[in-house]
Chain A
Amino acid sequence: MSRITVIPFGPQHPVLPEPIQLRLELKDEKVVSALPVVGYVHRGLEKLVETKDYLQTVYITERVCGICSFIHSVAYCQGIETIMGVEVPPRARYLRVIWSETHRLHSHLLWFGLLADSFGFENLFMQIWRAREAVLDLQEATAGARVILGTCCVGGVRRDIDQTGRDLTLATLDKLEQDIKKIANPILKDYGVQQRTVGIGRISRELTYERGAVGPTARAAGIAQDLRQTGYAAYGELDFQPVVETAGDCYARLQVRVREMNQSIELIRRALERMPASPISVPVKGNPDGETVSRVEQPRGEVIYYLRGNGGKNLARMRIRTPTFANIPALLAMLPGAELANVPVITLSIDPCISCTER
C-alpha cells in the first residue's frame, strides 16, 4: 500500500499543552511530510503595547509566555535600558540571573514531566511535577508570585533577596538537586525511556544550523550556541559554559535539559555567593527615543526583542521573535520518516510554546 493519508495532529491532542496543528501526510505508519497550522491563540500583544506606556509594557511582556515570563521582562527591560542609556546596579543584574535560572529550572521540569506523559510514563510525570512545586514555592517566597513574578522593572529589580531568602533558596536547591539526582539519573538509563527516545527525531548538525534552530534543540545537535555566553545581566561573571550534546535525537535533547537543570542550580548558587551589596534599582527619567535589538536566552532558546521608541511615552513598535518560532522549521525536518506513534514525543522534544509563538 502506498496511498497517502492525511492525519490532523492537534490542535487538541492529549500531549499538547497548547493548540498547534500538524497536518501529517502518512504513508502506512510513516510520516512523509508535515504542515504546521498556527494561529489558534494569537492575542495581539504587539499591538496592545502601542496603547500602554513603556513602564506598563513590562507587565505585558511578562504575559507573553506563562512559563518563561521573567526572562521576557528581562529581555524587554534590557532593551529599554540600552535605548535610554541606563546603567543597572550590579546587585540587580545578579538578582535577574537568579530568577531567570529558577524560571529555567521550573520550565525544564515542566517539560520533563510532559515528555514523560507523552510516552505514557504517568508516574514519572507526577514525580517530576512534585519536585517542580518546590521551585514555584521558592519563587512565591522570594518574588511574591508563583510564575509571573513582576519583579523586573526598567532600571533594575523591585525586590531584594535578603539573608532569609538566601537560606531558603539554598535549602530548596539542595533538596531539588537530590530530587533530580533520584529521578532523572535512573530515568536516563531506563530501558523503556531509551527505547522511546534514542535515535528518534534525529536531526544533523548541518540541517539544524540551516533551519535556524535555537536553544536546547540546537545544542543537542552539537551547536554550542547559548546567548548566556554573551554575558548579559551577570552571566559574564559566573563562568558559564553551554551544555552541548551531539546525537541530535530526542534523547540528546532530554540529556541537554537534564544537564541544564543541574547547571542552573550551580549558577544560582554561584550568583548568591558572588552577589555584591548595592542598590537594586536606579530611577529612570524621560522616554525612550531610538531603536534596539535585545536578545536573551530562554529555556527554549534565544528570544529577540526589537524595540523602537520615538520620544513619546508609548513605544512605536515592539516585535518579538520567540524560540519556538525558530524551532518549528527544525521540527518539520525531524518528522519525515518517523513513526506516527513517535510524533508526540518528537513534537514535545522541541518544547513547543505556542502562545509565545503567536503572541
Chain B
Amino acid sequence: MLKFIGNILQNLTHKPATRPYPYQKRAPIAGNRGHLVIDPAVCIYCGLCSKRCPTQALAVTRKPNPNSWTLDPYRCILCGYCVEVCPKHCLSLKPEHGDYSSPNSP
C-alpha cells in the first residue's frame, strides 16, 4: 500500500483529470468523425449517399422536384460510408462534435 503514497500526493497537488465540460470544451482531435457537412455547389444530387446509408439518415430529391439534400442528425451514426461512396467528393466529416440542440445545427 505504501506504493500508493506517490499517487496520493499526485492527486493532492495535481489538477482534476476531468473538465468542467459545458464551460470548458476539449479541442477536437484531428481526424475525428464529429459531424457531416456537404458542399452544395459540388453536389449533383445523385442520391447514392442516401441509398447506401445504413440508417436511412439522408434524404435526397432531384428533378422534377427541387434539388435537396437533408440529413437527420439523430439517425446519423457518423460512419462515413456516404463520404466514401460520394462520386463528387462533396461530403466530408469534420472533427467538431455537432451541436444538434440548436435549430441551426451544423
Contacts and interface: CB of A to CB of B under 8 A. Distances in A.
Interface of A: 52, 55-56, 59-60, 127, 130, 133, 137, 140-142, 144-145, 148, 150, 158-159, 182-183, 185-186, 190
3 nearest A-B residue pairs (beta carbon): A56-B54, A186-B3, A144-B33
B81 A141 contact: no
Given A144-B33, A150-B78, 19 more contacts: A52-B54, A55-B81, A56-B52, A56-B54, A59-B77, A60-B54, A130-B17, A133-B17, A141-B29, A141-B32, A142-B31, A144-B32, A144-B93, A150-B33, A150-B79, A150-B80, A158-B80, A159-B31, A182-B6
B23 interface: no
Contacts of A148: 77
A127 B17 CA distance: 10
Interface of B: 1, 3-4, 6-7, 17, 29-33, 52, 54-55, 77-81, 84, 93
Contacts of B7: 127, 182-183
- Give chain B's interface secondary structure class: loop
A133 B7 CA distance: 17
B14 to A, nearest CB: 11
Nearest to A130: B17
- Give chain A's interface secondary structure class: helix
A182 B3 contact: yes
Nearest to A179: B7
B51 to A, nearest CB: 10
Contacts of A60: 54
Contact of A59 (B30, B31, B54, B93): B54
B17 A190 contact: no
A137 B17 CA distance: 13
